[in-house]
Chain A
Amino acid sequence: MRYMPHTADERVEMLAKIGVGSVDDLFVDIPEEARLDALLDLPRHASEMDVEKNFRTLAAKNVSPYSTPSFLGAGAYQHHVPSVADHIIQRSEFLTAYTPYQPEISQGTLQALFEFQTQVAMITGMEVANASMYDGATSCAEAVLMACRITRRKKAVLSGNLHPHYREVTQTTLQFTEFKADELDPTLTGSEDFTSQISKETACVVVQNPDFFGRVEDFSALADKCHEAGALLIVVVNEIVSLGALMSPGDMGADIVAGEGQSIGVPLSYGGPYVGLLATRQKFVRQMPGRLCGQTVDQEGKRGFVLTLSTREQHIRREKATSNICTNAGLCSLAFTVHMSLLGETGFTKLAAVNHGEAATAADALSAIDGVELINETFFNEFTLKLSKNAAEVVEELAARHVLGGVPVSRLIPNDPEFDNMLLVAVTETCAESDLTAFVAALKEIL
């Protein structure tokens, strides 16, 4: 077996040195009745060539959104990943290192994390960010727990237009704690009214921008309302490219930003691994979950970086920790940092402008079709269409015509007739003119 270096003779010699007769003697602590004598009922080892063939066969049974017109979004966005980003995360020294517990020989990972934290803080308009969370949805749940700790209050209010997975993950996470989250209903008309929801018990209000239906909104007034009541405003951003074109949550007065960073540098990969972003104000940092990288100096006075404030974390605080999280999304955060570095201010704002331009063009073209109505007054690169037919069925028919024509809202908000004909359509820089033409033609045929 190519991954294991010992020869049969070496194994015998090593067993002799250990002072046992056979390898079975190393496993005597396993209760006799639970020991396996035969091999597991699984195939024997395979060559690299055969393994590759197996995966090519599986891949051939899927439709790649990069090889066909594709307009999928709903929290995960198809963008171009620069080859430098993918190359860097395959560098052995980044790929096969672990958590930087020994900072003297982990400065590469640590400096990259410090740069990541800075980039995330900058684009969200916040003062500090952590070294990443599992994904946007778990980051949202952790942000709510964090707000409850900070305010010592027990109730969160979730916008109905927050991504349904984010709402579900938050509810799942809170269900066995002393905290509770009230949800508003998703709505396609107008702004939500949080006034009646905010009280002296409210720890936080959670909104999303752009929201699940693609609309953008200024939450500055809501931030003021929250602060007057002693509550925090959490703003979720799951299309992070939007921040190249939009006022940042920090500028609106958000206290915590929970985001999904997948759009920058991270492949779609059927939903994971992604990179959760969490940013906040400096004064709340000790209530933050997850790893934090900080700047310091070494014995010779050279600048260096270490993991810091670890007294918040489970390996020190155990059951009193701010979170049970140990792993972060290290390599994905590196991909994010490399891609963001390549973009810079000029590229990031331009990428956002390109996305907005493509989306506006597509929205105009699609809404000109009979039986299609654009719901959004505002959007960044994703919008909701009301179709004259059931959207889930239309999406299947589009797929039969080799167009991945968006996400039916009913897939995420089932059993609500109001949304049955609603289709979420995302348009990014990867959309070619011919893709839009194909989409329009197919949709005309179906409706």
Chain B
Amino acid sequence: MLNKQGRPTQPAESSTEIGQGSETYSGNKGLNLESPLIFEQGLDGRIGVDMAEPKQVESRLGSIARKNPIGLPDLSEPQVLRHFVRLSRQNYAIDSGFYPLGSCTMKHNPRINEKVARLAGLGDLHPMQPTSTVQGALELIDSLAHWLKTITGMPAVAMSPAAGAHGELCGVMAIRAAHEAKGEARTRILVPESAHGTNPATAALCGYKVDAVPAREDGRMDLDAFAEKLGPDVAGVMLTNPNTCGLFESDVKKIAGMVHEIGAYFYCDGANLNAILGRTRPGDLGVDAMHINLHKTFSTPHGGGGPGSGPVVLSDALSAFAPVPFITHGDNGFDLVEHQEGQAEKSFGRMKGYHGQMGMFIRALAYMQSHGSDGLRQIAEDAVLNANYIRVGLDDLMRSPFEGICMHEALFDDSSLKGTGVTTLDLAKALIDEGYHPMTMYFPLVVHGAMLIEPTESESRQTLDQFIGTMRYLLEKAKAGETEMFEQAPRFAPRRRLDETGAARHPVLRWVPETDEEEEKLSQAS
């Protein structure tokens, strides 16, 4: 069941005292600078990019040359720069503070990765250059593939998927293609209840019925329930490991064996690979396909929600079905297989334009080279160490729904807030006032009022101690009945709580000029 508690937020009935008396004429407050929409700042005739005058030529645009204006605002370069710098300052970011957003692996994003991704001859290559002019690029992708295969102990990798969910789609399509190649029409995919929403959505897009498997008391998948659901119509299982409760599925090899016994395949959601780097390899656990979020485990920047990159490692059973393109080694160096023919005869097709998220490949490889085999293992060890340090730092005040050691993230439920009137959401918003990005809330869905805290290996002990201290302070305030600071939170952010219900009820998804035909047209349409 979906836990809807605390979401979406409603603004309070009345305005609060906090903001009153502190208004300014400009709307700015010291270093807190507002910027109106870019469309409210334009003046016809300015320009922010100088260029030569167009050559006067006979038009080849046929009958469809643009006749109507677009309505874009004209601005100069300093105006545009200031606008976006002001906007940037209204964002929380890893570089500015602790961002323990569970299941998102918000780790340090090294700047050398940004630098090398912009080198001439890497960042500016065209995807359709002759392969003879991009041998270094193909070598780079091949080298990253080698690191990914070695880290996971898997024989093959499909590089093109653009994100985690896109990687899932790649893996499940390979599974379906493999079954079809055997002439089997299987119809069901088993997915644990605690899975990311992308898992069932992906299975559905591949034409499978999703069958949810419940969790056991200890937070792992219920093996008995799982065994009961297995049958000749099961195409595979999608299991996150370590799972979304931050626990390692210790029966994973048994699960793989059961899946393989009925001729099905084991898809592992690799979102949490960070916790096991260099400590175990999915290939040794019986995995057939697993996506790797380069934007989580290998530090390519999250960028406000993307772009990501989700290469998928594949077992021998599935590798023949991998999507195009892929790299081969020929007599003249590296080459690309771009069509479903020859070596790629069994390929299930193409997932995106061109060859994958090259910009992310460069950054991820730089990150891997920086760490090396020793550093990669240290990542997993410190990430797990930090999560457990937080767990024991809070476990006398908060309840872990599952006992014992956790992996890279510590999970708590909201039983500690029971009777206080403070919800998980309120606690999260109070953390904002304390200068933190809140943890993941209300996920996984199997835990009531869940709070999922993933510190990553990037954080120092001092940061963790301060966070633990803050959480303890807030929990004590909540238990002492001092609820106003929670109800009012966030008080010190660029915005107070926003009316999400209203936003969904009357969607305003773009700016429109105040007095314009456009507006009339829009209101007529809706």
Contacts and interface: CB of A to CB of B under 8 A. Distances in A.
Do A and B form a real pair?
yes
Interface string B433-469: 0000110000100000000000001111100000000
Nearest to B43: A344
Q: Which 7 A-B pairs have the closest CB atoms?
A: A271-B354, A61-B136, A331-B303, A271-B127, A172-B349, A357-B55, A342-B48
Contact of B126 (A72, A97, A165): A72
A396 B132 contact: yes
A421 B115 CA distance: 40
A107 interface: yes
Given A59-B119, A108-B88, A248-B66, A137 B71 contact: no
B424 interface: no
A408 B353 CA distance: 17
B93 A95 contact: yes
A447 B466 CA distance: 72
A298 B201 contact: no
Interface stretch (A25-33, A192-200, A222-230): A25-33
A344 B75 contact: yes
Contacts of A65: 124-126, 129
B477 interface: no
Contacts of B204: 319-321, 324
B514 to A, nearest CB: 14
Contact of A175 (B136, B285, B348): B348
B305 interface: yes
Interface string A41-76: 111111010111011111111111111001011111
B258 interface: no
Pick from B87, B164, B369, B437 the residue with the most CB of A within 10 Å: B87
Contact of B375 (A45, A135, A349): A45
Given A172-B323, A291-B305, A378-B61, A26 B381 contact: yes
B25 interface: no
Given A67-B120, A165-B354, A326-B163, A314 B366 contact: no
19 contacts: A1-B374, A34-B284, A36-B280, A56-B116, A56-B119, A82-B48, A101-B101, A102-B432, A247-B64, A270-B122, A272-B353, A273-B307, A294-B503, A294-B507, A319-B203, A320-B204, A331-B303, A341-B38, A415-B341
Interface residues of B, number: 211
Interface in B486-505: 490, 493-500, 502-504
B151 interface: yes
Contacts of A438: none
B91 A118 contact: no
Interface in B279-308: 279-281, 284-285, 295, 301-308
A31 B253 contact: yes
B163 A134 contact: yes
Given A3-B108, A28-B405, A82-B49, A260 B72 contact: no
B5 interface: no
Contacts of A267: 118, 123-124, 359
A314 B110 contact: no
Nearest to B97: A105
B129 A105 contact: no
A110 to B, nearest CB: 9
A104 B339 contact: no
Interface in A103-120: 103-109, 111-115, 117-119
Contacts of B393: 17
B485 to A, nearest CB: 15
B70 interface: yes
B472 to A, nearest CB: 15
Question: Interface size class for chain A?
Answer: 35 or more
A73 B128 CA distance: 8
Nearest to B168: A324
Interface string A4-33: 111000110111011110010111111101
Interface string B60-93: 1111111111111111010011011101111111
A288 B80 CA distance: 30
Nearest to A274: B353
Interface stretch (A150-158, A182-190, A304-312): A304-312
Given A105-B432, A175-B349, A411-B128, 11 more contacts: A18-B385, A42-B150, A60-B136, A99-B304, A127-B521, A244-B66, A294-B503, A308-B500, A309-B507, A331-B303, A354-B52
B385 A23 contact: yes
Interface string B150-170: 110000000000111110110
B87 A59 contact: no
A78 interface: yes
B240 interface: no
B95 interface: yes
Given A61-B135, A273-B360, A354-B54, A285 B509 contact: yes
A437 interface: no
A340 to B, nearest CB: 7
B73 A345 contact: yes
Contacts of B150: 40-42
A214 B490 CA distance: 52
Contacts of A342: 48-49, 75, 77, 80
B515 interface: no
Contact of B352 (A28, A54, A135, A330): A135
Interface in B197-250: 197-198, 200-207, 210, 247-248, 250
B4 to A, nearest CB: 9
Contacts of B129: 63, 65, 72, 399, 404
A36 B281 contact: yes
B137 interface: yes
A344 B46 contact: yes
B207 A177 contact: yes
A361 B284 contact: no
Contacts of B339: 414
Nearest to B160: A272
Contact of A172 (B140, B351, B391): B351
Contacts of B350: 137, 165, 168-169, 172
Pick from B67, B110, B493 the residue with the most CB of A within 10 Å: B493
Nearest to A65: B126
Contacts of A395: 130
B80 A45 contact: no
A217 B126 contact: no
B499 A328 contact: no
A5 B66 contact: no
Interface string A260-282: 10000001111111110000011
